[in-house]
Amino acid sequence: MMTGGGYTTIDNQKVSGSVPAVSGSDHVTVKFTESNLHSFPTSEAKGKITGVFKPPSDADDTFSRPANGISDDTQQSGWMRKFMVAAYKPYFDVDTSDVLDRIKDSLFPFKASFAETTANNPDLYGPFWICTTLIFVAASIGTFVTYLAHKFQHKEWDYDINLVTWSAGLFYGYVTIVPLGLYIILKYFSAPLGLVQLWCLYGYSLFIFIPALCLSVVPVEAFRWVIVGVAGLMSGSFVALNLRSHISSAGERWFLIVVGIFLLQLGLSVILKLYFFTVTV
C-alpha cells in the first residue's frame, strides 16, 4: 500500500483519499402516504330494549360457522322453530315508551284503538310484567288486609303462603288459557285473530287491577266492592270494545261472544274480591 499525491494505492489501485461531503442543504423528505386502516362497522342496534354490537367478522371463522355452512336459524324451520328462543324475540322488542303508551290506552277503554295500534307489533313483555306485578300485589295486599283485620280483633294471625301460588295460577292461567280459547272460537267462526295479539290485549287489560288492589287496602267493604267493580267494568269494556270489530265478522253470534268476553273479565274482578279481600276472623 502506497500513499502519495493525495491518492492511496491499494494493490496497485488508486483510490481517492477524500470523500465528498453530503451537502447540508439537500434534505431528504420522507413522505408517508395515508394508511388504509380497516374501518370497523358501527354498532347496529338489534331492537329497542338493548343494542347488540356486531363484531367484525374473523379472518378464519371456521369454528364460528356450522360445518355445512348453514346457520341454526336456517336449519330450524317450520314447527321446530316454535321451540327456539329466537322465534319469540320480536315479541319483546319494545321500549319503555311503547309499554307506557299501551298502558295508557288500557286505561281509556272506550277509545277502542288498542287492537289497531298493536296489530303489527304485539308484545309479550308488557303482559308478562303486568301479570307478575299483579301476583305480588294481590298476595301482599291480601295478606296485609287479613293482618290488619286480625290485629284489630286481637286474634292470632298466620301468613298464608297459598296466596302467592294461587294468585300466580290465577293470573298466568287466565291470561294464557282465555285468549287461547277465544282464538280457537274465532278460528271456528272464520274470524281469525292472532294469538299473540290476543295475549297482548288480555295482558294489558289486567293493568287496571293493580291500582284497584292497592286501593282495596281501605278497610271499608262497600268501597272495596266499588273499586273492584269499576276495575272489572273498565277491563271488560277494554277487551270487548277492541275485539268487537274483529268478532262482528263471525256472523249473528258475535254479540254473544262479546258479552261472554265482558262477563269473564267482570268475573275475574269478583274472584279477586272474594278470595283476597274477604276477611274471616
Measure the CA–CA gap between 123 and 180, rounded to whole angstroms: 16
Residues above pLDDT 70, as percent of the chain = 65
- Mean pLDDT across the stretch 272-280? 71
As given in the structure block, the three cell numbers for residue 34 are: 395515508
Give the length of the chain: 281
The answer on pLDDT for 44 being more than 60 is: no
Report yes or no on 23 lying in a domain. Answer: no
Q: 125-152 and 96-106 are packed helices; what angle lies between their axes, rounded to 10 degrees?
A: 60
Q: Bridge partners of 13?
A: 10
* Residues spanned by the domain of 205: 96-276
pLDDT tens digits, one per residue of 191-238: 767 889 999 999 999 999 999 989 988 888 889 899 999 999 999 999
Report yes or no on 166 lying in a domain. Answer: yes
- For 57-69, give the DSSP string: PPS--TTTS-TTS
pLDDT tens digits, one per residue of 122-167: 999 999 999 999 999 988 888 888 877 777 766 777 777 778 888 8
> What is the reported pLDDT for 85?
66
Which residues in the chain belong to E strands, given as ranges?
2-4, 7-10, 13-16
Q: For CA atoms 139, 145, 146, 148, give the dihedral sign.
A: positive
pLDDT tens digits, one per residue of 237-266: 999 999 887 787 666 677 888 888 999 999
> What is the reported pLDDT for 250?
64
Helices in 43-113 by DSSP H: which ranges?
72-75, 96-106
As given in the structure block, the three cell numbers for residue 230 are: 269499576
Q: Look-up: residue for cell 319483546? A: 92
Report yes or no on 4 lying in a domain. Answer: no
- 240 in Cβ contact with 178 (< 8 Å): no
Report yes or no on 211 lying in a domain. Answer: yes
- Residue 33 pLDDT grade (very low, low, confident, very high; cuts 50, 70, 90): low
Closest CA to 277 of 144, 162, 160: 144
Report yes or no on 11 lying in a domain. Answer: no
Report yes or no on 243 lying in a domain. Answer: yes
Report yes or no on 26 lying in a domain. Answer: no
Q: Count structural domains, the chain.
A: 1
Report yes or no on 121 lying in a domain. Answer: yes
Local structure of 55: helix, strand or coil: coil
pLDDT tens digits, one per residue of 63-86: 333 444 444 444 455 566 666 766
For 195, list phi and psi in degrees, rounded to 5: -65, -40
